[in-house]
Amino acid sequence: MSQAQQVAVSQRISELLFIYSLTPTHPGSGRGGEIVDLQVQRDEFGIPVIWASGLKGVFRSNLTLRCGGDTACKERVRAIFGPEAGSREVSDYASSVVFLDARLLLIPARSLRGGVWTYVTSPHLLNYYLTYLEALTEYNNALNQLKDSLMKLIDRVRSSVGGGVALVSSGRVLMGGNKAVINELEFNAKVDSDAMKLFLSALPKDVGGDKVSQAGLVFISDDDINEVIRRGGLVIQTRVRLNYESKTVVSGALWEEEYLPQFTIMVSGIVCSGIRRSLDGISNDQLKKSLESLKSPGNVCNELRSINSLMLGGKETVGKGLVKLWWYPGGAPP
């Protein structure tokens, strides 16, 4: 490997990734729960999450399917993500991209006023976002401009909510002037348009800001966010399997599935480096040149940014899991 290649491999760049659910999404936990048979994944605090391993897998699958029968294209995907598990090359080189878990940022919840629903968040959810900004800034200084507003917002919200008190972005969700009812939970609410401005300034431009403004935003405490999620923040659907001859439910074939609701916004991130695969022994000059370009971390990230929507999680064949992707600071996919 040349000195220039070694420098390229050592360099890294990062991007934020926002995931916007266009349909209910089931990132399944793979096991049954006490109440719901097929739950969504949750972190150690009981908050819905999409683990990085699942994200990486669906990105790899999506890029591979795009290749069709193009062998050179599949080699590019393999160089980026590493050899497939169980292959002879599995220990030859590692993946050139790091995925972060997708953490919940905003969840839709029923509102008794101001429309059918509104977005809800809490200091804990905002801290997920701040943690990623702090981590990814090391590889991309452009993320620095978002941190100050977010830190001010977290301090402002943490000191103002709790004990049944919430901050709201506008008065349209209020009842009787100072009450907000979110998923049947009643809050004493105060309008804080400055908190909304801080949030929008901490959210990259063109990354869903108009959708948040239209839906409205309610800031509640960390204790209350768990209760809002428990009381209907997640969609629970009953499924059955029929005997097609009798048109009756097969014995024991009735179960419940849990979904992140439509319009949920989650935040993740990626860190890209140049591919680690050795190009020695590749006789095809065109393929070698193609892989050589992936020694640039920017080109590796560009491959991922070419994806602007995905079918994520299980239940794809019944229309679940369609998500839109927003990237920052890369902008719209090429």
Mean pLDDT per block of 10 residues along the chain (334 residues) reads: 42 94 88 71 93 95 93 92 77 89 96 86 97 93 89 96 94 89 94 95 86 93 93 79 77 80 96 90 87 93 94 84 90 41
- How many residues are present in the chain? 334
Q: What sign has the CA pseudo-torsion 5, 9, 12, 17?
A: positive
Query: Does an H or E element contain 327, and which?
Result: strand 322-328
Q: What is the pLDDT of residue 2?
A: 45
Strand partners, 311: 322
Coarse DSSP helix, strand, coil percentages of the chain, rounded to the nearest 5 percent = 35, 30, 35
Q: What is the pLDDT of residue 144?
A: 87
Global confidence as pTM: 0.89
Q: What sign has the CA pseudo-torsion 255, 118, 228, 99?
A: positive
Domain boundaries, the chain: 1-27+52-100+261-334, 107-233
Q: Taking a C-beta distance cutoff of 8 angstroms, is the pair 134, 147 a contact?
A: yes
φ, ψ for residue 82 (rounded to 5)? Answer: 90, 165
Q: What is the pLDDT of residue 58?
A: 95
Q: What is the pLDDT of residue 318?
A: 82
Tokens representing 145 are: 């401009």
